[in-house]
Amino acid sequence: MSPDIPEVPKTVSEAMPTQAIPQATQRPPRGPGKVVETLPTSLRGLYPAIEPFESGMLDVGGGHRIYWERCGNPNGKPAVFLHGGPGGGCSPEHRRLFDPAKYCVTLFDQRGCGRSLPHASLDDNTTWDLVDDIEALRRKFGYERWLVFGGSWGSTLALAYAQAHVDRVSELVVRGIFTVRREELYWYYQKGASWLFPDRWEKFLAPIPLEERGDLMRAYRKRLTHPDEAVRVEAARAWSMWEGGTITLLPDDPLAEAFGDPHYAIAFARIENHYFVHDGFLKPNQLIGGAHVLRDVPGVIVQGRYDMATPAKTAWDLHKAWPEADFYWAPDAGHAFSEPTILHWLIEATDRFAAN
């Protein structure tokens, strides 16, 4: 590594602080959830497009100001949506995962991405900073508890938040399960997925010299924090378009190209890489190992069977650790929330919990 790039640990169990996992509070006991792998006879879709009824910026310290918005019914059931990445930001489509007549949904761009400032900042940007930001928003709006919804990295953050603040979670909906374990990262950024996408993998490798390819995340870190903007942008686009080109079961070239937008890619790639070289600022297996505190939280897990970005093994591990949640396989889908069967089960989940 170049001398201006600090060395990072392979794991962070001793190097990074983590919050203590509380014991679950007393709720009505829940039996085992159901496991479903069938294609629905008719598919649910997104609710109509809506605009926020309120938005703003929240100063969360460390120089960060996060963008937030609230959508739907101001007097509806509270929910918070946690986007992917990290570094992905929210989109208008995310508002449409909830019945606007029944929910009051808070969406926010996590530190350093989307409309939050400063853009692409890595300072004071860890999983536990984001957990604190979620709590700051809950307190700001005066909610006792709320439904927590997260996909991909959003599932990581949802699990971390729920395990740290189980009393504040009314229900938990997660999809495309990702827990930042070393084997998950190695699969997607070093070896496994390359066997299925060799053409796209060559483009991912292109910015990295042969002699640095033994640890691609660290090689990318050096470039994503490089003083030369051209070097940063080249690396960011390659990193981001690898993900954009591999998250759907069927090719979606416009989606992959959208991931290559330089402004988006810089935040997305820098923040993802920052989190991943630090193992998500989590102890090994922390989120699967801590899932027992969720046993009394009503929950839904949705997983694409052919998800290459966050392979199904992690979702199955979570199911075994949290068997009380309902588990829905999407047997014809990859990773993206917009794939029809994944989207169907997500809408079914938010509709079901709207009445609680």
Residues with a catalytic annotation lie at 152, 307, 335
Task: Collapse the DSSP code of 159 into the 3-class scheme (helix H, G, I; strand E, B; otherwise coil) and give the result.
Answer: helix
Peptide linkage before 9 cis (omega within 30 of 0): no
% helix, strand, coil for the chain, step of 5 = 40, 15, 45
**DSSP state for residue 309 in the 8-state scheme:** S
Q: What sections of 153-197 are H helices per DSSP? A: 153-164, 182-189
Q: Are 61 and 131 in contact (CB under 8 A)?
A: no
Distances (CA, A) of 188 to 130, 156, 243, 256, 308: 24, 16, 9, 16, 8
Distances (CA, A) of 326 to 33, 147, 205: 4, 15, 39
Tokens of 152: 């991909």
Tokens of 59: 């100063």
Nearest residue to 128 (alpha-carbon basis) of 21, 208, 36: 21
Nearest residue to 286 (alpha-carbon basis) of 14, 15, 21, 22: 21
User: Quick one: which H or E segment has residue 303?
Assistant: strand 299-304
Q: Are 5 and 221 in contact (CB under 8 A)?
A: yes
At a CB cut-off of 8 Å and minimum separation 6, what does 82 contact? Answer: 110, 134, 148, 149, 150, 151, 154, 157, 158, 161
DSSP structure string for 238-280? HHHHHHHTTSSSS--HHHHHHHT-HHHHHHHHHHHHHHHHTGG
